[in-house]
Structure 1
Amino acid sequence: MENYTFNSFTLQLEGLNVKKASMYPVFFFLLFSYLFIILANVGIVVLIFIDSSLHQPMYLLFCNMVFNDILGNSVMLPRVLSDILSPPSERLISYYECVIQAFFSHMFGTAAHTVLMIMAFDRYVAICNPLRYTAIMTNKMLIKLTVSAWGATLILVGILLGLTVRLNRCRTLIRNTYCDNASLFKLSCESVVINNIYGLTFTVVLLTASIGSIIITYSKITVVCLTSKSQSLNKKALKTCSTHLFVYTIMFICGKVNIVLHRFPQYAEYRKVCVILFHIIPGSLNPIIYGVQSKEIKRFLSKLFKSRKVLSAL
C-alpha cells in the first residue's frame, strides 16, 4: 500500500538514473554543454551590442532567444549536475523552489515559440515589404513585439502553474530530472481534470499559433521569391529563412517528443534524456547557426581576429 504524506514542503527529485561508471562522463558532458551555452550566448549578445552594424531588428529580436536559452538552461542544468553527484535519497528540493523551477522551465519552452513567431514576422516584413521595413520595424515596434512575446508567455504559464498550486499534495516524489507542471500535479490525489484540459488547450493554442504563423509568413515569403526575378532577394530569403526554420524545427521536435513521452510512464528514462536535450540542443545550436549565417557577425569576428594578429605581431 502506498504511503501518503499530505502537503509536505520537502520533495524528492528522482533525477537521472546514471550508473556509477557513467556518472562523471555524463556530469562533465552536461557541465561543458552548460558552459558552452552560457559563453556562446553571452558572446553573441556582447557582439550585438558593441558592433553598431548589428543594431538591426533581426539581431535585437534574436537577443530574446539568447536570453531565453540562458534562463532555461540556468534553471535546469545546475540542479541536474548537482543531483548526478548526489545519492537518490539526498536529491531533495523545497516545494516553493520546485514551483519556481517549474514556472521558469515552462517559460523557457513557451517563449521559444513566441520569440520565434515575432522573428518570423520580422523576416516577413524584410522580404515581402523591404521598402517599408525601416518604417515598420521601429524601436517602438520592437518593444511591442518583445512585450507581446513575453507577456503572452507569462499569462499562459501563470495560469498553468496557478491551477497546479491550488491542489493538495499527497505524494513527495518528482519523477523527473527537474520540476515541471505535469510532475507537480501528479503529486496530488485530487482530480486533475481541469489541469489536463487547460494543459491540452495551452498546448493546442500555442502550437496552432506557432505553426500557423510560420506557415502563413513563409508561404507569403515563398510566393514573393517565386514571383521575383531578383537573385539577391531570393538568396537573402533562402539564407535567413532556412536558418530560422532549422532552429524552429529543432526546438519543435525536441519539445514535442518530451510532451508525447510524458504520456507513457514506461519510457520515463527516455523522457528524462529528452527533457535535457530539449534545453541543451537548441541552446547550443542557436548561437552557432545564427553566427555562421550572419555575414555581419562573421565580418566583425574577422576584423577582431585580424586586429589581434596585428597587435601580436608588434
Structure 2
Amino acid sequence: MGNLYNISSVLVLNHLNLSSENVLPAFLFATLSYMIILFCNLILILTIILNKSLHCPMYLILLNLPINDLIGSSAFFLRIINDLVTNRKTMQYSARVTQAFFIHIYATGTVIILSAMAYDRYIAICWPLKYNTIMTYANIMRIITIVWMICLVLVCVLFYLLLRLPRCRSELTNPYCDNPSLLALVCANTTINNIYGLLMVAISQVMSIGMMLYTYLQILVACFRSKRSDTKAKALQTCATHLTVFLLLECLGLFTIIAYRLRNISPHLRRFMGVSTLIFPPTLNPIIYGLKTKDIREKVVHFFRKRIFPS
C-alpha cells in the first residue's frame, strides 16, 4: 500500500534531461521569456485599466486576453524555472494537476475570448447605429462572465473525469503537464476521458471557428459596401490583426492536439509545438494589439514619454 501511495502521489520528472552546461542557458531563456511576457501583458492591462477613455466594450473584452495569457505562461514558466533552479527530480502529483488545470484554462479561454472579441467587432462594424444599445456595460459584463463560466465548466469536467481514475505510473516526460500527459499515467479505461476531451475540443473549435467565419464574412461584406475608404481601411486592419492572432493560436494548438494522437510524429517536435503555444501567443498578443491599436499605442507612448522625458 505504501508503494502504491508513493506511485500515485509523487511523479518522477524526466522532462528536462539537460546536461550541466545547458542548465544555465535554459534558465536564462526561460526567465527572459517569462519577464518579457510579464512586462508586455502587464503594460497592456495597466494601460486599459488606468485610462478611462479605454473603458469601452472593445477594450474591456480585450482586457481578458492578457489576463488569460498570464495565467497560462505563469503556470508553465514558474514551474520550469523552479525545476531548473532546484534540479528537482520528483514532484507531487497535485502540483502537476494544478499546472495542467491552469494551462487548459488558458488554452480554452483564449479561443473563447477571441470569439467574444470577434462578436464585438461584428456589432461595431455591421451595426454601428445599434452598437451602444447592444454593447452596454451590463451586456459586456454578461459576455465576460459567460466566457469564463464556459471555460471553467469545460475544464472542471475534464479534470473531474481525470482525477476519478487510478494511477499506476509515475514517470513524466513532457516539459509541462496537460490532460493527455496525465492520462498516460493512468492504468484504467480512458475511453470516456478521450471522448470528452475530443468533444470539448470540438465544441470550442466549432464555436470559435464558426463565430470567426460568420463575423468576418459579414464584416468583409460591410466593408466592401462602405463608401468611406478610411472606415474600410480601419475595419480591415482591426480584423487582420485579430485574425492573425487567432490563426497563430489555432495552428499551434491544433497541431499539438493532433500530435498526441499520431505516433509517427517526433516527440521532440510535439514538445516544441506544445511549448510554442505557451510562449508565442502570450508574447505576441500584447505587442500586436499594443502596436496595431492606435488608442492603446498612443497611451503607452505617452506614458513612457512622461516617465522618461518629464517636462
Specify the TM-score bucket, using the shorter chain as the normaliser.
over 0.9
2:6 and 2:167 mapped to 1: Cα distance?
A: 5
2:264 equivalent to 1:263: no
Deviations 1:255-278 (A, max 9, x none): 112112222456222222222211
Deviations 1:213-256 (A, max 9, x none): 10000010011111121112211211110111011011111111
Deviations 1:102-144 (A, max 9, x none): 1111111000111001000000011001111111111111111
2:28 equivalent to 1:24: no
- Which of these residues, 137, 156, 170, is aligned with residue 172 of structure 1? 170
Deviations 1:170-193 (A, max 9, x none): 101122112211111111111111
Length-normalised TM-score, structure 1:
0.92
Return the letter of the residue paired with 2:127. Answer: N
Q: Are the counterparts in 2 of residues 14 and 173 from structure 1 also a CA contact under 8 Å?
A: yes
TM-superposed CA distance for 1:304, in Å, is 3.1
2:292 equivalent to 1:274: no
Structure 1 SS opposite 2:167: coil
Partner of 1:114: 112
2:159 and 2:303 mapped to 1: Cα distance?
A: 46
Structure 2 SS opposite 1:171: coil
TM-superposed CA distance for 1:205, in Å, is 1.4
Return the letter of the residue paired with 2:53. Answer: S
Q: What number of residue pairs does the alignment pair up?
A: 308
2:213 and 2:306 mapped to 1: Cα distance?
A: 43
Structure 1 SS opposite 2:63: helix
- What is the percentage of aligned positions where both structures have the same residue? 37
Q: Rate the CA distance shift 1:310–1:176 in 2: closer, same or farther, 3 A.
A: closer
Structure 2 SS opposite 1:297: helix
What's the C-alpha RMSD, in Å, of the aligned pairs?
1.9
Partner of 2:128: 130
1:147 and 1:308 mapped to 2: Cα distance?
A: 35
Q: Rate the CA distance shift 1:230–1:25 in 2: closer, same or farther, 3 A.
A: same
Return the letter of the residue paired with 2:295. Answer: E
1:171 and 1:92 mapped to 2: Cα distance?
A: 13
Structure 2 SS opposite 1:93: strand
Length-normalised TM-score, structure 2:
0.93
Query: Which deviates the most, 200-209 or 107-116?
Result: 200-209
- Stretches of structure 2 that go unaligned for 5 or more consecutive residues are none
2:37 and 2:214 mapped to 1: Cα distance?
A: 31
Structure 1 SS opposite 2:266: helix
Return the letter of the residue paired with 1:298. Answer: R
Return the letter of the residue paired with 1:83. Answer: D
Return the letter of the residue paired with 1:180. Answer: D
Return the letter of the residue paired with 1:72. Answer: G
Deviations 1:70-103 (A, max 9, x none): 111111111112223454xx33221222222111
Q: Rate the CA distance shift 1:280–1:208 in 2: closer, same or farther, 3 A.
A: same
Return the letter of the residue paired with 2:27. Answer: F
TM-superposed CA distance for 1:21, in Å, is 3.2
Partner of 1:295: 294
Partner of 1:221: 219
Structure 2 SS opposite 1:12: strand
1:201-216 matches, within 5 Å, as 201-216=199-214
Return the letter of the residue paired with 1:270. Answer: L
2:61 equivalent to 1:61: yes
Return the letter of the residue paired with 1:185. Answer: L
